[in-house]
A = this chain, B = another copy of it.
Amino acid sequence: MSDADERIEQRPPTLSDVAQQAGVSLATADRVVNKRPGVRAETIRRVEQAVADLGFERNLGAAQLARRVRHRVMGLLPEAGGNPFMARLRQALEEASHTGAGRHLDLTIQAADTFQAEPLAAAILEAGTVADAIVAVGLDHPAVREAIDAVVARGVPVATLVSDVPGSARLRYVGIDNRAAGRVAAHLLGRFAGGAAGEILVVLGSRDLRDHRDRLDGFREALAERFPLIDVTGVVEGQDEPAATRQAVARILQRQPRPLAIYSAGAGNAGLCEALAERDLKPVVVAHELTPETRPLLVSGRIDALIVQDPGHEARSALRVVEAALSGARIDERQERIRVEILLPDNLPD
């Protein structure tokens, strides 16, 4: 028993406390805690023992303060264009980059076409030469996967944001479980439609976007399980843009004039609603993301429910995750899980 045991310890234990308890210097304790090389096995053991005994947790604020090097993070997002969710995500990333964990990251955001595999892969490879970490909206394509694997192999951690690149060596995917989101959509549509039999149309941005495809898969799956009387009779792609979406929907409505419900898994919802209004249709509609585009549609009842993810949370999480990777810190899993939220007119945030 040391003297330290005798006084009531209100202050969290510091690395000095650990060093003292282990009978080593601060520097050595630091080496052990940060798993740096050059310490005898026996010494490592003693320090780790002290850490455990004292319940030491390193003070992230102080660590950040002391670290000299600033890390460069490249953010690869699609041109916002007609997609307000991406615009908001970009803004959220910029905000997060000078607060909290992002504080000493130099974030550069670059537009990258998320619909085209080769350009995105090239952008990732190039970013890997100038940045210490990458945060990118993914695209599920071999070229992109290889690009990610290449930069990760060079020691540049990559976090995929919103749309994953499964099978790649990315450090982590930051976004919702899109299959679950699709299931939720099916569940809501089915119940909102009152269990009636009927036809459903699905609108995607593109089948190449992993998030959209996952949503569709989950949607079909849950529909088959729970609402076997409802059929998906058409899937169209609108490139996440209002104009293209409007055209695509108008076209399919010629063949399927009275859909029971519509699941819009991508952006471009204003176009969808225009196409419906033209024909004076009022099917049950479930769409994604809360944006200046979708908000009034939900309020006015043109959209029945929105399935959303919080871009602010995603941005902070992505930066926390790469920051942790870069500095060898742990993360609180619970805080990083991005939720599938459901918005009705009644729980719309201001």
Binding site for B on A (CB under 8 A): 10-12, 57, 59-62, 64-65, 70, 98-100, 103-104, 106, 177, 180-181, 183-184, 186-188, 191-192, 194-195, 218, 222, 310, 312, 316, 332, 334-335, 337, 339-342, 344-347, 349
Q: Are A312 and B340 in contact (CB under 8 A)?
A: no
Evaluate whether A11 and B346 lie within 8 angstroms (CB atoms) in the complex, with A65-B61, A312-B335 already known.
no
Q: Are B10 and A70 in contact (CB under 8 A)?
A: yes
Q: Are B222 and A57 in contact (CB under 8 A)?
A: no
A177 and B349 CA atoms in complex are apart in Å by 10
A339 and B339 CA atoms in complex are apart in Å by 11
Q: Are A183 and B98 in contact (CB under 8 A)?
A: no
**In the complex, what residues of B have CB within 8 A of residue A342's CB?**
341-342, 344, 347
> Among the listed B59, B98, B347, which residue makes an inter-chain contact with A103, where contact means beta carbons less than 8 Å apart?
B59
Q: Are B57 and A60 in contact (CB under 8 A)?
A: no
| Cβ-closest chain B residue relative to A334 | B312
Q: List 23 contacting pairs A-B, 8 Å CB cutoff, sorted by A.
A: A10-B106, A12-B104, A57-B99, A59-B65, A59-B103, A60-B61, A60-B100, A61-B61, A61-B103, A62-B65, A65-B65, A100-B100, A177-B347, A180-B346, A184-B344, A194-B195, A310-B339, A312-B335, A316-B335, A339-B339, A339-B341, A341-B341, A342-B347
- CB proximity of A149 to chain B, nearest CB, Å: 27
Q: Are B184 and A347 in contact (CB under 8 A)?
A: yes
Counting every copy of the chain, the complex holds: 2
Dominant SS at the A interface? helix
| Cβ-closest chain B residue relative to A347 | B340
Evaluate whether A11 and B70 lie within 8 angstroms (CB atoms) in the complex, with A184-B346, A341-B342, A349-B339 already known.
yes
> Among the listed B104, B310, B332, B346, which residue makes an inter-chain contact with A99, where contact means beta carbons less than 8 Å apart?
B332
| Cβ-closest chain B residue relative to A59 | B103
**In the complex, what residues of B have CB within 8 A of residue A98's CB?**
12, 57
**In the complex, what residues of B have CB within 8 A of residue A106's CB?**
10
Q: Which of A98, A335, A344, A346 has the most CB atoms of chain B within a 10 A radius of its CB?
A: A346
A98 and B106 CA atoms in complex are apart in Å by 28
